[in-house]
């Protein structure tokens, strides 16, 4: 894999991860300040994917105006979409809710994600204080792997590529497309609607870039394996 592509992929994963964390004062300041958009654009240019580059445009328009009004609106929408909507949360941020038959936030798949992290030596950020299958953790993990791949060579590089393929096919592709669809369809705030679309476009790119075999793209097969069905 090309070194520049690995660097770009790592940056995109880390940006997406931060965008899915709760917009507290620090995260909100980072989003509204907007430097990440330029970094995202440069990273997408390295991937030479036109549809991905186009998905950045809505973010530029959103942050170029109404910043004062957008900040509290973003907090409210994050809470409504991902945490406390009634009678049910619109787009839960945890893989287990989509992968487990009982739809609970902690299950077999959650433990499997944590074991995968530990096996590779990944430690969850303490300040997130959340479950290991939170989408922000999973995207950050992929970003770390892509960054490590950029600096690797030979057998180490091949091993890192295999780890990424395995994690993407087992723990992201089976549920994140459904999650992104919910975010894009139900968000009342453009930032999260655009974020859902961008995430989906990027994972489609990743699926092809990493060469995920077609049989591993079958959501039903992976869900059955993960839930023990």
Summarised one tens digit per residue, pLDDT across range 1-54 is 476 899 999 999 999 999 999 999 999 999 988 899 999 999 998 887 777 878
Q: State yes or no: pLDDT of 117 exceeds 70.
A: yes
Under a CB-based contact definition with an 8 Å cutoff, are residues 228 and 101 in contact?
no
Four-CA torsion 105, 108, 109, 115, nearest 10 degrees: 120
Q: Which residue has the higher pLDDT, 35 or 105?
A: 35
Q: What whole-number distance in Å separates Cα of residue 204 and Cα of residue 110?
A: 23
Is the pLDDT reported for residue 111 higher than 50? yes
Residue 65 in tokens: 């105006």
What secondary structure letter does DSSP report for 134?
Answer: B
pLDDT score of 221 more than 80: no
How high is the pLDDT of residue 125? 67
Helix axes 108-120, 219-227, angle to 10 degrees: 90
User: Domain containing 182 — which CATH number?
Assistant: 1.10.3480.10
Give the range of the structural domain holding residue 73, as residue numbers without chain letter. 3-227
Query: What is the Cα 22 distance to its own chain's centre?
Result: 14
Which residue did the predictor score with more confidence, 56 or 173? 173
Residue 86 has what pLDDT?
Answer: 63
Residues 128 and 134: beta-carbon distance below 8 Å: yes
* DSSP, res 64: T
The whole-chain average pLDDT of the chain stands at 86
Q: Which residues, including other chains, have CB under 8 Å from residue 172's CB and lie 6 or more apart?
A: 95, 138, 142, 203
Does residue 198 surpass a pLDDT of 90?
A: yes
Domain count for the chain: 1
pLDDT of residue 205: 93
For the segment 188-197, the average pLDDT, to the nearest whole number, is: 93
């Amino acid at each position: 894999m090309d070194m520049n592509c690995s660097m770009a992929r790592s940056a995109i994963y880390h940006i997406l991860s931060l965008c899915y964390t709760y917009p507290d004062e620090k995260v909100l300041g980072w989003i509204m300040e907007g430097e990440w958009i330029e970094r995202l654009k440069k990273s997408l240019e390295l991937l030479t994917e036109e549809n991905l580059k186009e998905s950045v445009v809505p973010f530029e328009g959103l942050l170029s105006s109404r910043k004062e009004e957008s900040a509290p609106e973003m907090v409210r929408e994050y809470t409504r979409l991902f945490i406390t909507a009634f009678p049910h949360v619109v787009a839960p941020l945890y893989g287990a809710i989509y992968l487990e038959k009982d739809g609970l936030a902690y299950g077999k798949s959650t433990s499997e994600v944590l074991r995968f992290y530990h096996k590779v030596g990944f430690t969850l950020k303490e300040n997130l204080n959340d479950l290991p299958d939170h989408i922000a953790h999973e995207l950050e993990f992929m970003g770390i792997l892509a960054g490590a791949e950029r600096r690797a060579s030979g057998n180490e590089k091949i091993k890192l590529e295999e780890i990424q393929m395995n994690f993407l096919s087992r723990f992201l592709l089976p549920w994140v497309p459904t999650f992104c669809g919910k975010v894009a369809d139900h968000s009342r705030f453009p930032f999260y609607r655009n974020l859902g679309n961008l995430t989906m476009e990027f994972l489609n790119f990743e699926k092809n870039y990493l060469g995920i075999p077609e049989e591993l793209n079958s959501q039903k097969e992976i869900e059955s394996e993960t839930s023990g069905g």
